[in-house]
Chain A
């Protein structure tokens, strides 16, 4: 069965610093996709970044990058130059090739301090 683990319930970071949010996953499917979403207090899930299991390079999208370590089954999100608006819940999710549903972790609440 799929499993997504986010071990950090809460994280604090100083404004303008970088922060890494951890995510590990468990799957036996060789083909899968990993996603990160941001959920502000308003509730909407905002797509941030995607990494495919066969992608050779780590994904990057602006200030977001994904540190993909396939052998360790980890897909950590790195946010560079944190901004106050980055304060939110962050969810890691995985989609297997043989499943139609996307499984989410429990999330990490990030607080950016001024």
Chain B
């Protein structure tokens, strides 16, 4: 088990450019989550997938953000027309949901640090 991986680890872009991040979950995990973490804060939920279905999106996820999980394996998070306020760490987590959700443990990747100039 190689854990959750994310690519790239760091991204610097100019305002107005599009960026795409990739997350590879732990194999056989059926749920995948995206979070955003700004400096000095805890992670904030953005969206999650169960298999290939995107089941919930936070109000933080503006129209410029889109996430996909084709075939229920890896996921991508795209930000269009980036703004300086998008600068943050983007974390991906995966879990295996077998029953109740309360005890579902999410395992996180190393994150992608985005800096928008």
Select the stretch in B64-72, B75-83, B104-112 that faces chain A.
Answer: B104-112
* B33-44 vs A, Cβ < 8 Å mask (1 yes, 0 no): 100000011111
Contact B106 A47 (CB under 8 A): yes
Chain B contacts with A in 23-40, Cβ cutoff 8 A: 33, 40
Chain A residues packing against B (C-beta within 8 Å): 4, 31-33, 35, 37, 42-47, 50, 52-53, 91, 93, 95-97, 100-107
In the complex, what residue of chain B is closest to A92 when comparing beta carbons?
A: B42
Contact B103 A100 (CB under 8 A): no
Known contacts A93-B42, A100-B101; decide if A45 and B108 are in contact (CB<8 Å): yes
| B91 interface contact, C-beta 8 A | yes
User: In the complex, which residues of chain A have a beta carbon less than 8 angstroms from the beta carbon of B114?
Assistant: none
| B100 interface contact, C-beta 8 A | yes
A50 to chain B, nearest CB (A): 6
In the complex, what residue of chain A is closest to B31 when comparing beta carbons?
A: A100
User: In the complex, which residues of chain B have a beta carbon less than 8 angstroms from the beta carbon of A37?
Assistant: 108
Known contacts A44-B111, A100-B55, A101-B56; decide if A33 and B103 are in contact (CB<8 Å): yes
In the complex, what residue of chain A is closest to B40 when comparing beta carbons?
A: A106
In the complex, what residue of chain B is closest to A6 when comparing beta carbons?
A: B42
Q: Considering the complex of A and B, which 10 residue pairs feature the smallest CB-CB distances, nearest first? A: A104-B42, A101-B45, A45-B108, A33-B102, A44-B110, A43-B111, A91-B42, A97-B102, A100-B56, A104-B43
